[in-house]
Each structure stands twice: as C-alpha cells, then as structure tokens.
C-alpha cells in the first residue's frame, strides 16, 4: 500500500510540475510576445494634454483619461516625429525616414504617392511572429492595392479612413463653385472595412455628419477587437488611427459644449474619452500587465483652423511651429508607453523618435529587420525598461526630400530658415516659406530658447561640425540605397 501511495503521490507531483512548467513558459512567452496597442492621435500638439503641463484643464479642455494613462507610463517629453500625417505614419510603420519610401509629403488624392509593397511594416513584423493583427481608423499611406492595410500585414481593417479628414470638407466647397454632382462624387471620401479575404469594401460616406460620429465608432471597434482577442493563444497587435483632433472640428453630440475652449476643446475632450474606452477595454480584459500601450501624436498642431468664428485649434505648448514645417513645435509632440510589467512609469526628456518603435519591437520579439535597406530608428528597449539612462542624440527632418532640419542633442539646425506667412492669422506649416541665409545654417539652442528666437550661428558655429557629420552619414547611405523619386506639386521634371 505504501508503494501504491508513493507512486500515486509522485505522479500527482509530476503533473503539478508539468503544469507549472507550462504556466511559466506561457508567462515567459508573454514577456517576449506581449499584446501591443499603438494609438496615434491626429494633429495633437504638445500643449494640448494636461500631463504635459500646458494643456488640459489649463486651457479649459481637461484630459483625465490620457493624464491617467500618462501617470502609469514612461512619458516622453522629447518625442519627435515627422512634419505631417503621411510622413509620420510611414516612419512609424517602416522605422525609416519617410523620404526613403517616397512618402515625405502628405498624400493628396489623385497623386501617385503610395506605400510600396516592398516596404517592411510593423504589422508584418508582428504577423511574422504569430500575432493577430488589426487596425481601425486613419491609414493615409495610399489607396493602391499594394498599399492597403490588409496588403501590409494587417489581418483586418475597419472604420477605415484611407485618406485625410480634410476630404469631408471638399463636397460642400465644390458645390459652392457650381460643380456637377458627378464630379463632386469622385472626391467623396468613404469609410472602409475589410472582408474575410482581405479585400476592402465601402461602408458609408465619410462626410461632415459622420465626422461627428467616427471617433466613437473607432473606439468601439478597437474595444471589441481587444475583447475578442485578449485570451486567444496568439497575442495581438492593434493599431488605432484616431481621427481627432484633425480639422474640421466634429465632436459627438454628447460632447458638444462640454469644454470652455469651444468646438476644438469639445473634440479634444471626446478624443480623451475614446482613448479612455480603449484603455479600459484592456484593463477590463485582465491583460494590463501583458499589454504594451503606446499613445502618440503624428505631428504638431493646426493652431488656426479658420473654418468658423471658433478658429483656435491645437497648441505647440512652449514651442513654435505646426503641422507641415520643421520647427520644434511641429516635430515635438506627446508620446507615452505603458507596460506595467517591464517599463517603469516616469518622465524622461531623453530623445525618442517615431522611427524607433519598429526596431524596438523587433528586439522585443527577437527578430532581425531586413538588412537590404537603411533603418533610421534605434532600438530603445533597454532605455524604455530603465536599463539605460540615455537614448538617441540626433534626427534629420525633410521637406520635399531636402534635409530641412537636424537635431543634435539640444541643438536644432536649419539649412534654410522657416518664415511664417503673411496673413491674419499668420501661420507656419503649410503656409510658410523656407529662405536661404548667407551661406550658413541657422542654429538654435532648444533647451534655452524653445521658441527659436535667437540664431546662434555666429557664436556657436562649432555645432556645425556635428551637423555636417550627421548629414554626411545620411548622404553616404544614399550611395548604396538611393531614395525613390518623391512627388512634388511645385517642382516638375522636364
């Protein structure tokens, strides 16, 4: 009898150890392959969010949900992007300067700009490692078959905005010119959704009425995706391309009149609530510790919407600049990462760029990136996890394929200076000019002079040696890997 009990107890012990081993292996696998949710706001400036010190309640439009996310995150106070919607989205997906994929300008319908099939994207990385991949919201990387989300690594796509929210304005503007409805219908943007075979189909018109509802539908679709995939054997990657706070202002009815900052403030408060819905879906599913949440903006603000009497829009905070230019306020935006299990919550003023996420995620899942192309992003995993105290030191920005700004540490250097347009209100961004100086770049100390008022080239010209080194290494990379021709609407070949 003793022998029987002995062997029975040994058998149960072996089963228990095997179960523990499986559980431990599963936990370790989730450390290497956590769920990943990336949320990208549209035209959200540094000065909009309460957690960044100069927005939120201070401007009459509180952001409690994003502030709560920030309190649990690594908050990046020097997170840098590219100058516009398409360039930043290309940089996020490919880990490369957008000029390397021919997407350095904002895509306008009817132009040939599009994400090429040969690019390797973040979704393809996760798909390669067994992730279920889904996307909802704004894509803005082209409408050719090769460029669609479902052709670039995503299993599914919904509440899809393939182009820019500007398009909601076009039909009414065209009607005022007396154009035919047939001509107007050709410019009408649509909401898209993928079928089981990956093909996209039109769901409904993306017009000014639906502009007020789309953010809520994106949040609902993203939350449903989380609920359906949270406890599957395979991890998931979810990319949420928010439509807010891009003009035209369009908050859902329950948010209208909520802020003291007018229509823009109402829209920001709705955006904050929708971000909260997605974060709550993660937490309610019980996967908070095993889910990386990344919240970013694609570029700096549109400060003056100019569409009605309530024209004040987003804010660059203490900086100068807006979407379309390469001033600090266009390129420095909110960015935060939450992963309670491995990323300590803190604030850091170390430099991180939107290009860094692809190589960082590749390091996380133990994957090598394609070698037959330059990757401009840096692996920031050890910095994110607190094992290293410093991150990258340099970044190049482009306009129409030209090197237009260089960051090295706290210095920003411009080959040509950005000059605001004449008007009321005056604006940089899409309305600005770039002017040649006297043969020397302009040099600004961003730490001491965040609004870039004092050109220090005469007294700090030593910085130009680092500038020339950074630009020189980029130009050297073009010898083996030349950039594809970009598209310009002002410069045409003969």
Task: Tell me how far CA of residue 14 lies from CA of 3, 5, 25, in angstroms.
Answer: 16, 14, 16
**Structure tokens belonging to residue 321:** 């600049």
Which residues make beta-bridge pairs with 433?
419
Instruction: Please give the biggest Cα pair distance in the chain.
Output: 99
Catalytic one among 140, 244, 271, 355?
A: 140
Active-site annotation holds for 212: no
What single-letter DSSP state applies at residue 476? H
Structure tokens at 373: 């192309």
H/E stretch holding 71: helix 64-71
Question: How many CA atoms within 13 Å lie on the side-chain side of 409?
Answer: 7
Q: Of residues 33, 85, 271, 355, which has the active-site annotation?
A: 85
| Residue 410 appears among annotated catalytic residues | no
Least Cα distance to 245 among 211, 281, 209 occurs for: 211
As a dihedral over the C-alpha atoms of residue 31, residue 35, residue 41, residue 42, rounded to 10 degrees, the angle is 110
CB 323 within 8 A of CB 106: no
Instruction: Identify which of 344, 337, 339, 447 has the alpha carbon closest to the alpha carbon of residue 388.
Output: 344
Q: Distance (Å, rounded) from C-alpha 294 to C-alpha 400? A: 29
Catalytic annotation, residues? 85, 140
């Amino acid at each position: 009898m003793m022998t029987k009990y002995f062997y029975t107890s040994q058998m149960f012990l072996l089963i228990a150890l095997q179960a523990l081993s499986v559980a431990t292996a599963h936990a370790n696998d989730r450390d290497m392959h956590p769920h990943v949710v990336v949320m990208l706001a549209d035209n959200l400036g540094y000065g909009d969010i309460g957690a960044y010190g100069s927005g939120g309640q201070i401007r009459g439009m509180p952001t409690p949900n994003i502030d709560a996310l920030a309190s649990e995150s690594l908050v990046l106070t020097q997170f840098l992007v590219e100058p516009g919607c398409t360039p930043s989205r290309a940089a996020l997906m490919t880990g490369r300067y957008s000029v390397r994929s021919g997407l350095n300008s904002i895509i306008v319908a009817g132009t040939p700009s599009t994400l090429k099939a040969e690019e390797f994207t973040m979704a393809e990385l996760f798909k390669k490692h067994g992730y279920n991949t889904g996307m909802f919201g704004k894509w803005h990387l082209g409408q050719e078959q090769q460029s669609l989300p479902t052709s670039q690594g995503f299993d599914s796509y919904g509440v899809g905005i393939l182009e820019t929210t500007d398009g909601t304005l076009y039909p009414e503007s065209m009607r005022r010119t007396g154009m035919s409805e047939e001509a107007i219908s050709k410019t009408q943007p649509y909401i898209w959704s993928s079928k089981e075979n990956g093909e996209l189909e039109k769901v409904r018109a993306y017009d000014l009425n639906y502009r007020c509802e789309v953010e809520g539908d994106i949040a609902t679709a993203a939350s449903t995706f989380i609920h359906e995939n949270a406890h599957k054997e395979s991890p998931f990657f979810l990319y949420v391309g928010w439509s807010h706070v891009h003009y035209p202002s369009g908050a859902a009815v329950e948010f209208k009149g909520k802020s003291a900052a007018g229509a823009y403030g109402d829209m920001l408060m709705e955006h904050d609530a929708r971000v909260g819905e997605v974060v709550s879906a993660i937490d309610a599913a019980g996967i908070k510790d095993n889910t990386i949440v990344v919240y970013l903006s694609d570029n700096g603000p549109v400060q003056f919407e100019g569409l009605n009497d309530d024209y004040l829009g987003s804010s660059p905070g203490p900086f100068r600049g807006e979407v379309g230019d390469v001033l600090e306020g266009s390129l420095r935006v909110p960015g935060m990462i939450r992963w309670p299990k491995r990323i300590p919550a803190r604030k850091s003023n170390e430099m991180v760029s939107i290009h860094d996420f692809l190589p960082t995620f590749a390091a996380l899942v133990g994957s090598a990136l394609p070698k037959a192309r330059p990757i401009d992003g840096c692996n920031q995993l050890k910095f994110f996890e607190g094992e290293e105290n410093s991150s990258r030191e340099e970044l190049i920005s482009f306009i129409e394929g030209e090197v237009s700004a260089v960051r090295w540490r706290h210095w920003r250097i411009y080959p040509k200076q950005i000059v605001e347009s004449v008007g009321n209100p005056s604006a940089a961004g899409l309305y600005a000019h770039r002017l040649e100086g006297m043969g020397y770049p302009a040099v600004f100390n961003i730490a001491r002079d965040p609004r870039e008022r004092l050109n220090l080239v005469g007294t700090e010209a030593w910085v130009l040696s680092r500038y020339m080194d950074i630009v020189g290494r980029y130009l050297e990379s073009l010898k083996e890997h030349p950039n594809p021709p970009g598209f310009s609407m002002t410069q045409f070949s003969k």
